[in-house]
Amino acid sequence: MRRAIHFAAAILIAVLCLWGSVAPSAQGFANWNWNMMRGSRGADVTELQGRLRYVNYYHGAIDGVFGWQTYWAVRNFQRDVGLRVDGIAGPATKAALVQRSRGYRPAPAQTSAPPATGVGRFSARDIDLLTRLVYGEARGEPYVGQVAVAAVVLNRLEDPRFPHTIPGIIFQPGAFTSVSDGQIWLTPDSEARKAALDAIRGWDPTGGAIYYFNPATATSRWIWSRPQIKQIGRHIFTR
């Protein structure tokens, strides 16, 4: 009898030890009932970013700060797995993410800037995001049209109605189609980067535009009502 009890105890201890070794990565998240959203901070946000990166939805710094990049990564993940698309990481979103990132293991937080150089007041990250936007929005357009798209972002930077950073402008909800559908994360070519840099250096083919649209696909009455400046390639640029 004693031998059976000792054997059962040994089995229980082994199971508990095994559970303790796998539970953090298998279960994930310290607080399942916390709805993480834009502005949230902490270890669970760090894990959220890490898991989203593991399944190729998030490409920013793993810094524990729920910003626009994290917001759009959550929305795109929710859309693809059939959840309510609201950009809020609640229990259902976390459960689906854990299910799809089973091999995830935490990595050290990334708080330093990428090992690259910026231009003037624009950081390497600013230039990378602007390049990605140009490629996502305007690849296939004439070169001047690619510069024009970058110029619109920079013009918004000087307009008090818009956010005051490149990431803030690019990831503003509903601002750019390539962000909403994930094309901003395609690998850009050298022409897109050159176009972004030409705009940063002062070339604005749009004449001060802060919006643009494709007249072949635009259905918004509002965008058609904006004062038009010129058409470049397939885009009409407006104030």
Least Cα distance to 134 among 176, 173, 72 occurs for: 176
200 within 8 A of 151, measured Cβ to Cβ = no
pTM of the predicted model as reported, rounded to 2 decimal places: 0.61
Using CA atoms, how far apart are residues 105 and 226, in angstroms rounded to an integer? 49
Residue 113 DSSP label: P
Task: Tally helices (H) and strands (E) across the chain.
Answer: 10, 3
What domains are there in the chain, each with its CATH number? 40-101 (1.10.101.10), 124-238 (1.10.10.2520)
Q: What is the pLDDT along the chain (239 residues), one digit of tens a residue?
A: 555 444 444 444 443 343 333 333 446 798 888 999 988 888 899 999 999 999 999 888 888 888 888 888 999 999 999 999 999 999 999 999 999 998 898 865 444 444 455 677 899 999 999 999 999 999 999 999 999 999 999 999 999 999 999 999 999 999 999 999 999 999 999 999 999 999 999 999 999 999 999 999 999 999 999 999 999 999 999 99
Per-residue tokens: 71: 């917001």
Q: How far is CA 110 from CA 11, 57, 126, 154, in A?
A: 40, 17, 17, 27
